[in-house]
Amino acid sequence: MKFRVAALLGPALVVSAHAQSPSPEDVEVISLPEAAAEPVERAAPETLDEIVVTGEKLGRSLAETMSSAAIATGEDLEAAPVSTMKDVVSRYGNIVSAAGDREIAIRGVPQGGIGGEGDTVSVYLDGVALPSRAAGFAGPVSAWDLERVEVLRGAQSTNQGRNSLAGSVVLESRRPTEEWDLRARAGVISRGGHDTAIAGGGPLTDTLSFRISGQDRYDPGNIHNVTRNEDDAGREDMRNGRVALAWRPESASDYRLLYGYTQADTEFGDPLHDTSEGERTQTADVRGVEDDRTRLHSLRQAFALGDHWRVEAITGWADFDNRYVVDYDRTADDGGFSENTQTERLISQELRAYWDAGPVRGVLGAYYADGDERSGTLGRDVATAGGLVRLDGTIDARTETRTGALFAEADWDFARFWRLTAGVRVNRELSRHDAGAELDLTLTGSVPGLPLDLPIGVPLPDAASDALATLLPAFVPPDYAERDRTAFTDVLPRVALTWFATDSTTLGLSYQEGYRSGGISVSFFGGAVSAFDPETTRTVEFATRSRWLDGRLSLNTNTFYTDWRDQQVTIGETSGFETVTENAGRSHYYGLEAEVVMLLGGPLELFASAGVLRSEFDDFVNDGEDYAGNAFPYAPEHTATLGLTLKPWHRIGGQVSVQAIDDFYSDPDNDPRSRSDARVLLHARVDYQLTSRLSLAVYGRNLTDDRNEQGALVAGDRVAKRYGEARTVGALVEWSL
């Protein structure tokens, strides 16, 4: 039985009657139709179609998926005014764009965690995990030529392993097909930006197909540097390219191979803005530049073994390079600058064996990954010790991580309307961390009471620098060299009970544990070493899936409670450079997510998504300051999106949506200066079909020009803000073969 992946709107949530769940191979991707002589009106669907959640390895339908899942199909992405993964997933309840659109937070947990090391949200592209920074904003996360975007809220550690404590996002590129197609677009963006893209492919032989796509998008933003008189301080310049090959040999009809290569080259401005000269301004005297390059190879193979077994292998190789130049003090003063570099290499291999026999279906698998992450900071003329000392030198770090895991999950239909799901992951992680600093100091002023006669304005010899760091440890960072290893083994269970109450209503109760691995923390300045253990979450979740009005209305909800133990938190001033990570926190959070899709009749569809969240630290003392009772950063209590889509009708189509986000803090201390005001964002897009192959689209995001604050960094009396996108409008000419 095959299920067609149909174009739905917004959350794209549906519920079906109790039926055998389809596997990923049973998903039929609808190819693009050939152009007719004139635009063809699409018949309005009478019911919402079936959707399969591929982010969970068993490939259940959404009606049978107890995780809080939201899905956007390829046609959803084309209808909505979105450009990146962040634009798509932030429309759903309890997901917000954070840190100047540099990351997302799911249920109040940012991708980088609330302190600590490593990520809490994993992002997969074509089956392979993206490196940390690439997964946030700097990698191949463009929505152009994607087949679907899935976001799974809540811990996915049993399912995905490391870096999934808060959830996961799954991106799937359009796959090669046996039919030729070609589409392209050219557009302009307000403030002098542009967006050009092309994608297409088809059969090379009877068994081999290909697809290529590329995009060049530039948005200068609207951050004005008043010191350098530059209007593109918040720019985003993204170039993405993808190549895919699909092979199904005639000699082995049960074998499939899909290879993909993706490369992204991006440039961004600085996300932190000293606003002493007004909102959306910057005063840095050094031009902030961040250059990133991501290369990703994925190889997916599948082979059927009889009627009940099939085997899959997913091989991945990811390579990420980053260069980030930033003004050290971010002011008009000549306070020096730093040049930061980061590289990450990740090789992974996953093997899965699926079986489907009677009332039991499941998956067994093994996973291995080898990662190497290196970072370096080159400081130039950095003023420290209240301006008495000028610092030059390098600080380097390297982390090598090897991860191995065995996992299993199974569904057992033990009664007519009941299903028991059980899963477990045994994860073993080995890590080695090296960090060192080689700093040169120049005394720029005399130090009262210092029992040393040191020359002014001349670089100090190493012995004098070491002595100065010893005498003034609070002002002058010393050289250091630190190395340590860690090893952790974690067992991550998951269990769920599902009741197919009626043909249109499903209820489920689940329990699962999440984790983020332990490791070694070394403070940037000073080299203080702190070993920390894994942190864990325990979540109980109640899910409902229902369909009403003869299948024209779906309502899906998830209610959850999470207890977070041994929480990894940052000890020290978060705006400083002498912080370490410790298991010094415990907290809890709970809430509700609801998604609605309704066919209104004719070409109109309504979609809505809402989230309610309460978060609280139960135990967190940072240098004597008690944060107990504080809310998480990036954890608004209410989020909601309401939208309406017009399917192609008399040559016109489009979508309008309004998004509301409550106020939130961006620091665990809940300093009022780090609070972002509530915001309301209005987005819209209108398409007009000029001919059967040519169309025109106009769109706008944040049409009300909300200030759109996304947090702030507080350092003493100074406040540096992070902003989301300002009002942006654009026009696109799109052509398809």
The answer on pLDDT for 331 being more than 80 is: yes
Q: In this prediction, what percent of the chain has a pLDDT beyond 70?
A: 91
Q: Note the Cα 646 to chain centre separation in Å.
A: 29
Q: b vs e for 10-42, b when ≥16 Cβ sit within 10 Å of the residue's Cβ?
A: bbbbbbbebeebbbeeebeeeebeebeeebeee
What is the greatest pairwise CA distance in the chain? 90
The answer on pLDDT for 387 being more than 60 is: yes
* Average pLDDT taken over every residue of the chain: 89
* Residue 549, SS3 per DSSP: coil
Which pLDDT belongs to residue 465?
A: 75
The answer on pLDDT for 30 being more than 70 is: no
Distance CA 320, CA 725 (A): 25
- The radius of gyration of the chain from alpha carbons, rounded to an integer in Å, stands at 26
Which pLDDT belongs to residue 446?
A: 63
Which pLDDT belongs to residue 35?
A: 36
Where residue 670 falls among pLDDT bands split at 50, 70, 90?
very high
Distance CA 371, CA 403 (A): 8
Contact predicate 521/532, CB 8 Å: yes
Contacts of 106 (CB under 8 A, 6+ apart): 94, 95, 120, 121, 151, 153, 154, 166, 167
Contacts of 272 (CB under 8 A, 6+ apart): 100, 330, 713, 720, 721, 722
pLDDT tens-digit profile of 613-660?
999 999 999 988 999 999 999 999 999 999 999 999 999 999 999 999
CB atoms within 10 A of CB 515: 25
Nearest residue to 440 (alpha-carbon basis) of 378, 375, 524? 378
Where residue 5 falls among pLDDT bands split at 50, 70, 90?
very low
Tokens 């899709």 sit on residue: 597
Instruction: Return the structure tokens found at 315.
Output: 């091989």
Nearest residue to 569 (alpha-carbon basis) of 579, 583, 558? 583
Where residue 381 falls among pLDDT bands split at 50, 70, 90?
confident
The answer on pLDDT for 292 being more than 60 is: yes
Nearest residue to 150 (alpha-carbon basis) of 226, 209, 95? 95
Where residue 21 falls among pLDDT bands split at 50, 70, 90?
very low
The answer on pLDDT for 40 being more than 60 is: no
Contact predicate 639/93, CB 8 Å: yes
Which pLDDT belongs to residue 383?
A: 77
The answer on pLDDT for 454 being more than 70 is: no
- Overall CATH class of domain 3-736: mainly beta
Distance CA 468, CA 440 (A): 11
Burial of 442 (0-12, 13-18, 19+ CB in 10 A): middle
Which pLDDT belongs to residue 51?
A: 84
CB atoms within 10 A of CB 310: 21
CB atoms within 10 A of CB 178: 13
Which pLDDT belongs to residue 449?
A: 57
Which pLDDT belongs to residue 32?
A: 33
Where residue 448 falls among pLDDT bands split at 50, 70, 90?
low
Nearest residue to 525 (alpha-carbon basis) of 478, 482, 459? 478
Which pLDDT belongs to residue 491?
A: 96
Distance CA 720, CA 314 (A): 43
Which pLDDT belongs to residue 31?
A: 34
| Mean pLDDT on 27-49 | 47
Q: b vs e for 612-644, b when ≥16 Cβ sit within 10 Å of the residue's Cβ?
A: bbebbbeebebeeeebeebbbbbbbbbbbbbbb
Looking at per-residue pLDDT, the higher value among 42 and 484 belongs to 484
Contact predicate 196/215, CB 8 Å: yes
Looking at per-residue pLDDT, the higher value among 258 and 54 belongs to 258
Nearest residue to 171 (alpha-carbon basis) of 138, 217, 122, 215? 122
Nearest residue to 242 (alpha-carbon basis) of 315, 312, 174, 157? 174
The answer on pLDDT for 444 being more than 90 is: no
Contact predicate 143/161, CB 8 Å: no
Rounded to two decimals, the pTM is: 0.90
| Mean pLDDT on 539-558 | 95
Where residue 450 falls among pLDDT bands split at 50, 70, 90?
low
* Residue 275, SS3 per DSSP: coil
